[in-house]
Structure 1
Amino acid sequence: MNPNDLYEKLRDLNQKLNGTALEFTELHEEMIRLMEKNAELVIEKPKSS
């Protein structure tokens, strides 16, 4: 494998990794929002019953 092929492979892997990291961050933020919403619902529930 020549150095250019290796460079291309590394660049492609880096781009995939960056995309995965961004997706992970977005999913993590969504998970936090859902947990906060869940906490609100749990707090509200006893008041209504």
Structure 2
Amino acid sequence: MIAINMMEILNIIVLAVIIILAIRIIISTIKTTVKILVIGTLLLTLMWISFNIF
């Protein structure tokens, strides 16, 4: 019984670690995509403004 409980606890810990890592990766990718989108929109607006001026 004790061995089964230890295995279950280990499985739960492994799952928790995997979930935490997955969440971290997802958050980092979302941050990078947001940065890329912000930079892209800024560049597009700058180009649009420069084209309107000239």
TM-score category (smaller protein): 0.7 to 0.9
Tell me, in whole angstroms, the C-alpha distance in 2 between the residues paired with 1:5 and 1:16. 16
Aligned length: 48
Tell me, in whole angstroms, the C-alpha distance in 2 between the residues paired with 1:36 and 1:47. 16
The one-letter amino acid of 1:37's match is I
Where has structure 1 moved over 4 Å in runs of 4 or more? Answer: none
Deviations 1:3-48 (A, max 9, x none): 2211110100100110111111111111100010011011111112
> TM-score normalized by structure 2?
0.78
> TM-score normalized by structure 1?
0.85
- What is the percent sequence identity of the aligned residues? 2
Instruction: Tell me which structure has the larger Cα radius of gyration.
Output: 2
Report the aligned-residue RMSD: 0.9
Q: Where does residue 17 of structure 1 map in the other structure? A: 16
Instruction: Name stretches of at least 5 consecutive residues in structure 2 with no aligned partner.
Output: 49-54
